[in-house]
Chains A and B, each alone.
Chain A
């Protein structure tokens, strides 16, 4: 049981990062990015290439993938989200779904359709294992959770303490008002999307050694990230994080009991049930839902 919870927290940290990325993009652009999970995979694959082609260490790969992720995010905002936003909400949704196709099969074109392994952060061919109170922990699981917390803390500090972070929040809350006080709203949006995609790439590198990256994994990560975001509350960063972790744990517990095939539809039902019973999610405010 405890073992399953730990495993759940590990995959859940991936979902949490997706949920958080969806939240950041939604806040900045009012667009729900259906392709967020594909960017997680993209980040993991980029890190894989950095380690194999350049023979760089996983830490270099982590930094590299995150940086390239930021650039991808800027391009994604400029060439997909911004043009689609001029057409309307349905166009936005459809454009991000189109992006799923491009990335999902684009990955297969570049890296092949089989998932690839990433090296472990602690080095070695296999993960180092600890036993803590009867529960077996992998070093990578600890790395993933610890670095997730670090990433969240950095983001929190950026958005709450730095002038630019505050400007981005202002641009998201009230674009017109932000424009009037001299904030470059378009750039703030682009940077927000960049941050969200960088976060996805970062997450892909973190969980890559455990789950492997590539193949069709991104679709499942996207959707479960969503479920986490909806359950926790799309407009609450805390809710998104906890929601993602919760979905991970729930998934692993159900899987342990009933097998993978049953766990998945139950997790997806959670999305529908939450939308019906408490559409704002656990930590969200109600007003976000109807518009």
Chain B
């Protein structure tokens, strides 16, 4: 995951140097300076789209709409006729601010809408937004209709008129600001949340990432950047009309991001510059130019999905991780990583009251009730399809229950989103070990540790100390947990390259990094070899000894009998037995459920 940030860190100094050299050496060439200014203006929305597409995996075909909102807002505000006494620089500043904020507000709106869609539905919904925006620009007489707004005064910064060479420097300063903000976001907790969402949204929720909030934030940020660039665009050109901000501009932004490499900042700038230069020098190619772009996009997206920036990323280190866990380990204990002081432990961590859940006509969970005493280890067993995982999901807030209540530490969490339930220090693992495949082991665990941290998106955006502190704390805690589970040798390996047994263990580590008090494990022993199984048994007992409340779904009866204080048996969605392991094992109904009865 960090490889994109590293690629950015490596490329951005070169880009900055290139811009500076260019600006100084070629200041005499008006055409080139103008092309480079446009490249800068395009880079800013491209950075926003790059974050959306590459870091959060949300496509947007409406980026030109936000650009237009910024452009028209500034155009309107600066041509309305200045209020007496308002100097031109103030009009420009106000127009830019208002354009940026308004575009960000619409970005937020689109983000809220986008929550409901994935994949091509999202592409279409954002496309519709872009089309509607273009239609509104064209049809509003207040915005000048098809002719647009003319005679927008040149931007003023104090006594300085921003035209020609000054515009070049101003535009690239805008890029620097956008790059700084984007990098801050990606370096902070938000970047980790984005990466978790991109890899596996459900798992991200389960470790406490408020996925909706972060997705909306990404759309808002992308919209705001586009509005920011748009407001300068109209002032720089002195005019804005609907044809400049149509859907084809949205597609151009997409093109830039894909060519340059989605994710992070450097790729977006390179893509925008490439297209900007090609647009200047490609004029004699006429219609060949877009045809070539089209072919290029297909080729790049298929063969070089990481674009230009991807070419400079170094292959990932396979081993030799840098884990400074030893020191941290001395301070922490397995499973109790420097947790904030506990409020009085409730007597009952989890209570399920009469919960039912049906899928279509199938009753998966049928009026199940139980309560878990704190500090105990219980197992939920039953034949395949008995409703065990559905019950887990109900506890974690994944899918609505049809009836009944779920109480965690005495609070009714029935209609809560999964990340809020995780925030009550409920950890879980999934039957098929849902790790974040593109992150290393250490990063996976660190992602889990963030639920105990509280940096805000705003703090991330401006790179405040709180943001950095929070990332450092999460990494340290992760290192400690990785060390305590003996995972250091794997710490630098990408999760998707792990063997199955290791995946399970890493998922356990990720859950533990959040300092859970209630831990739900879905078939933790499935697919483990004898040694791994023995280690799991020891871990489970150690966790219980530290006061965690555990609930397992498990098919490995020997393990269940060895570690459980209590065993519950689910069959066809109903709880048919509940008690001490020995008693349950001898219950005739349980035997019947597993082996069938003579009469059945």
Contacts and interface: CB of A to CB of B under 8 A. Distances in A.
Interface of A: 31-32, 34, 80, 83-84, 86-95, 97-106, 108-109, 113, 219, 223, 226, 230, 261-262, 264-265, 268-269, 271-272, 275-276, 279, 289-291
A289 B117 CA distance: 8
Nearest to A33: B120
Interface string B115-149: 01111110111011101101110110000000000
B305 A98 contact: no
B302 interface: yes
Contacts of B583: none
B235 interface: no
A189 B368 CA distance: 46
Given A261-B138, A268-B135, A84 B298 contact: yes
Interface string B368-387: 00000000000000000000
Contacts of B287: 105-106, 108-109, 113
Given A94-B301, A265-B135, A265-B139, A272 B118 contact: no
Contacts of A105: 287-291, 294
A91 B301 contact: yes
Contacts of B134: 265
Given A265-B136, A271-B124, 16 more contacts: A87-B301, A87-B305, A91-B305, A93-B59, A93-B123, A94-B59, A97-B297, A98-B293, A98-B298, A101-B293, A102-B294, A265-B132, A272-B128, A275-B128, A276-B116, A290-B118
Tell me if B's interface is mostly helix, strand, loop or mixed. Answer: helix
A98 B132 contact: no
B329 interface: no
B58 to A, nearest CB: 9
Contacts of A103: 294
A275 B121 contact: yes
B117 A279 contact: yes
A97 B289 CA distance: 15
B261 to A, nearest CB: 13
Q: Which of A100, A219, A223, A275 has the most CB of B within 10 A?
A: A275
A89 B119 CA distance: 6
A102 B298 CA distance: 10
Nearest to A262: B139
B185 interface: no
Nearest to B139: A261
Nearest to A274: B128
B117 to A, nearest CB: 7
Nearest to A87: B305
Given A87-B301, A264-B135, A272-B128, A279 B295 contact: no
Contacts of B125: 271-272, 275
A83 B305 CA distance: 12
A268 B302 contact: no
A230 B296 CA distance: 30
B227 to A, nearest CB: 20
Given A102-B294, A261-B138, A93 B119 contact: yes
A225 B442 CA distance: 48
A265 B117 contact: no
B113 interface: yes
A89 B134 CA distance: 27
Contacts of B57: 90
A241 B138 CA distance: 30
B355 interface: no
A61 to B, nearest CB: 24
B182 interface: no
Contacts of A98: 293-298, 301
A32 B139 contact: no
Interface in B255-311: 258, 287-291, 293-298, 301-302, 305
Nearest to A260: B139
B5 interface: no
Contacts of A275: 116-117, 121, 124-125, 128
A102 B116 contact: no
A95 B302 CA distance: 8
B514 to A, nearest CB: 27
Contacts of A34: 123
Contacts of B135: 261-262, 264-265, 268
A279 B119 CA distance: 13
8 contacts: A89-B119, A90-B59, A95-B297, A102-B298, A226-B124, A262-B139, A265-B136, A272-B125
A84 B128 CA distance: 24
Q: Which of A91, A268, A279 has the most CB of B within 10 A?
A: A268
Interface in B52-81: 53, 57, 59, 61
A102 B294 CA distance: 5
Interface string B4-19: 0000000000000000
A269 B120 CA distance: 17
B251 interface: yes
